[in-house]
Structure 1
Amino acid sequence: MKLSSVLGEVVVPTGARESSVAFVLNGNAGSVTPEICSRLGRLFGERDVFVSKSLEDVGPIADRILRDEYDTVLVGGGDGTFTVMVTEITRRAREQDVATPRLGVLKLGTGNAMAKVAGPDRSLRDISDHELLELARSPLTREIRMVEVEGFLTPFAGLGADAEVLADYIALNRRLRGTPLSSIGVGLAGYSLAALTRSIPKQIGKEMPFFRITNLGGPCHRVGKGKQIIGRPFAHGEVIFEGKARIASCSTIPYYGFGLRMFPFADIEPDRMHLRVSTMGSLEFAQNIGAMWNGSFDDPSTLFDFLVEAVKIECNPATELQIGGDAQGKRSVLEMKISDQPLRLVAHDD
């Protein structure tokens, strides 16, 4: 059985009852069709399929899931959908002093980094009914912590050009979808095309914002090639980075967007998140897109990687923020921390 290294040890419960499963689908996602809803309703029961059309639907759906004591919730959508739904379920579970159900992902959105760690990394259309039933009823569970930022629980969030690059990639993917050129709009080819034709031209000549990043957690380290610690530890309250940069982002999973391995050190320590700061120029980025994609690129003069519990990021001027791949506007000050409690995730053998 293949299981992502970012997750903790597999737990196999003994003597447990057959789990009850709820499906929460983003009704605004293009892949969430009446046929998909009907298929899930046929396999699991229509009462267990929830379709959210707006943020106003999220709270009532979360309350219903907790009230009916579902053991497992599979979220169909992208990373943004997962972030919103998980945040609301977890918050309301704490308020009601009840257990948060186990969570998983169905690949039905635009960016699906979480599908690589909490669900089959394939479109639902490519999963047979038998496989889907096995996934939903699997007793295997693993745990992972999230990034806490502005009240959200999310696998990743960041300030700077990463939000712009991801948005350009998504825009290109959507534009080419359903056309004869759709195959070049995904994966490394699509990422490279979006970066070379959209993101990099916009960055040329654009001055990088100034960042000051302060450690708000316990002692933290810079890490580099081979997952080796670089230099001395940084104490609580100490500035760990100060200078101009393209991005400053945190993640608890290695992946970002469509499989880009942007955070290769996120699986080193389960109680730390990977903070990546990049000062890379447009030319260097263009020359190393392949290595950036698979997480093998290493240049300590332009990539600054840290394992941290919590940080405060200040930037001037205010810079674009993305949370779970969704744009949130500009921020000049931002605090991020690793969540106190891990989420229980569906373990799979995709």
Structure 2
Amino acid sequence: MAIIDVCRITQGTGPALAYVGAMSFPVSLPDRPFARRSAFILNANARGVSDRLIERLAEVVPAGDLFLSRTLEDAEIFVRTVARRGYGRVFLGGGDGTLVSTLKLLREVCAKERLNVPELGVLRLGTGNAMALALGAAEAIVDASHVVNQGPIAARPVHFVETDDGTLTPFAGIGYDGAVLNDYFALRAKAKTPLGKKAVATVWGYLAAMLFKTVPDELKKKQARVRITTRSEAVAIVAGPHGDEEQAVPAGTVLYEGPAPVLSVGAIPFFGYGFTMFPHADRKPGYVQLRVCAVPIPIILANLFPSVWRGRYRHAKLKDFLVKDVVVESDQELPYQVGGDAHGYRARLGFKVADQPLSMLALGERLVPQGHTVLQLGPARVLLRLPR
């Protein structure tokens, strides 16, 4: 009786294959039990992730599907567990920085162990929440309940920005935005009382850091000069008689050379707190938006609300491009941010569109579980349990 030693079995999006030496043949494997389940990974250090929230989520999310990460080591263990179990969907809670760092870990684990990257969603927790806003996230408990109760969910392909070290992020940049983040985190670190911490961890704390620290400091500095070269075909967005128009730009073209207090690239329309930094990000699939701003600060501040904030402001010194692959060179090192987290200072950077889009999850009309109701409190929707 011959004994066949099956060396390995692989399973991707198609049928499983068993390999015997150089030969392969299809085999039938049972469905992975977690493939139709959703994991929830929360950053315990993020704003809004309180003991009460965790208790409420634990009432909604099935046992074993909720992970609370307090350290990088926790995150690595949980990501590896989620990937190996084969969850079909993973929802992250903790803001844009948590999305970027967890996604990096998840891609590394899945690539190393030849696993599929699950579909990703976000809960509106932490600060900024640009991706949560882009996907229409509601209050975290409402969304978690919707997911667990199998409410409608649509997968939206998003071509992330890829930095020159391979990190995928919804946005990144150098200049004022990086400086504002550095000053904002310094302001948060100085807040000692609960009330002060709560006040600083809002859009008003961000604006306070910008107006009272970043702007005065930057006005004293010599402006950096940058050169931006596109390594692939690009599109310039220019003002036309009937609104914004597109102009094709060939590969190898210098898109911009001159002062650039702000230089940012984004895959979604928003920065943190609903600031529409990239109004053209969704304009052309397979591209991300590059924005260069040399508009004087007093003019920006005079038009901040609502024109600049809502992405409607136009100026001769505000340049917009849709790009696939660019290199940025500066005559001095500038503060650098990735996904809303400070990443030191850089004088040369590369940004490109990720080779493959990521499947991001946007929830449909929210389901309300039996015995509960949803109360609208300003912009927030709060899930309330009805008295029995």
Range class of TM-score, shorter chain: 0.7 to 0.9
Within the candidate set 304, 309, 320, 1:289 is matched to 304
Q: 2:181 touches 2:337 (CA, 8 Å); kept in 1?
A: no
Question: In the alignment, which residue of structure 1 is the partner of 2:56?
Answer: 39
CA distance in 2, matches of 1:254, 1:315: 25
Report matched runs for 1:24-63 at 5 Å: 24-63=41-80
Farther-moved stretch of structure 1 (302-311 vs 202-211): 202-211
CA distance in structure 2 between the partners assigned to 1:94 and 1:322 by the alignment: 26
Larger of the two Rg values belongs to structure: 2
Alpha-carbon distance change, 35 to 192 in structure 1, aligned in 2, over 3 angstroms: closer
Residue 325 in structure 1 maps to residue 340 in structure 2:
yes
Task: Tell me how far apart the structure 2 counterparts of residues 52 and 305 of structure 1 sit (CA, whole Å).
Answer: 38
Structure 1: how far apart are the matches of 2:256 and 2:77? 42
Which of 141, 145, 169 is residue 133 of structure 1 equivalent to? Answer: 145
The correspondence for 2:166, drawn from 131, 141, 151, is 151
| In the alignment, structure 1 residue 99 sits paired with structure 2 residue 129 | no
TM-score by length of 2: 0.76
| 2:268/2:278 contact within 8 Å kept | yes
State the partner residue of 2:270.
Answer: 255
Q: Displacement of 1:170 after TM fit? A: 5.8
After superposition, the C-alpha distances for 1:190-224 in whole angstroms (9 at most, x for unaligned) are 5554433232212213211111111122x112104
TM-score, with length taken from structure 1: 0.84
Unaligned runs of at least 5 residues, structure 2: 1-33, 367-388
Counterpart Cα distance in 1 of 2:43 and 2:322: 33
Give the structure 1 partner of residue 93 of structure 2.
76
- Which structure is richer in relative contact order (CA contacts within 8 A, separation 6 or more)? 1
Q: Distance in 2 between matches of 1:95 and 1:142?
A: 26
Query: Structure 1 residues 178, 227: closer, same or farther in 2, change over 3 A?
Result: farther
Corresponding residue SS for 2:328: strand
Secondary structure at the counterpart of residue 332 of structure 1: strand
Distance 1:264 1:176 in 2: 37
- Partner in structure 1 of residue 5 of structure 2: none
Give how far 1:245 is off.
0.9
For residues 205-284 of structure 1, what are the structure 2 equivalents within 5 Å?
A: 205-217=220-232, 219-225=233-239, 228-229=244-245, 232-284=247-299
- Residue in structure 1 matched with residue 216 of structure 2 by the alignment: 201
For 2:192 and 2:286, how far apart are their aligned partners in 1?
40
Distance in 2 separating the partners of 1:318 and 1:270: 32
Letter in 2 for 1:133: S
In the superposition, relative to structure 1, how do residues 155 and 177 fare at CA in structure 2: closer, same or farther (>3 Å)? Answer: farther
CA contact (8 A) 1:214 1:237 kept: yes
Tell me which of 105, 109, 121 is aligned to 1:88.
Answer: 105
Instruction: Mark the CA change 1:280 to 1:158 in structure 2 (over 3 Å): closer, same or farther.
Output: same
The residue identity in structure 1 corresponding to 2:156 is R
Contact 1:158 1:322 in 2 (8 A): yes
Offset at 1:19?
2.8
Deviation, structure 1 residue 268: 0.1
Greater helix fraction, Structure 1 or Structure 2:
1
Q: Secondary structure at the match of 2:55?
A: helix
Structure 1 residues 307 and 313, CA gap change in structure 2 (3 angstroms): same
* CA–CA separation in structure 1 for the residues paired with 2:197 and 2:65: 37
Distance 1:177 1:346, change over 3 A: farther
Question: What does the per-residue CA deviation read over 1:89-126, in whole Å, with 9 as the maximum and x for residues that have no partner?
Answer: 1232233333211111112211110111235144x3xx
Q: Is the 8 A contact 1:216 1:237 kept in 2?
A: yes
Q: Alignment partner for residue 118 of structure 1, among 135, 148, 172?
A: 135
Q: Which residue is 1:346 aligned to?
A: 361
Distance (whole Å) between structure 1 residues aligned to residue 200 and residue 110 of structure 2: 42
Counterpart of 1:3?
Answer: none
> Is contact 2:41-2:66 (8 Å) kept?
yes
Residues 185/283 of structure 1: CA separation in 2 closer, same or farther (3 Å cut): farther
* Structure 1, unpaired ranges of 5+: 1-16
Cα 1:190–1:57 change in 2 (3 A) is closer
1:18 & 1:234 partners in 2: Cα distance? 44
CA-based RMSD of the aligned residues comes to 2.6
Corresponding residue number in structure 1 for 2:26: none
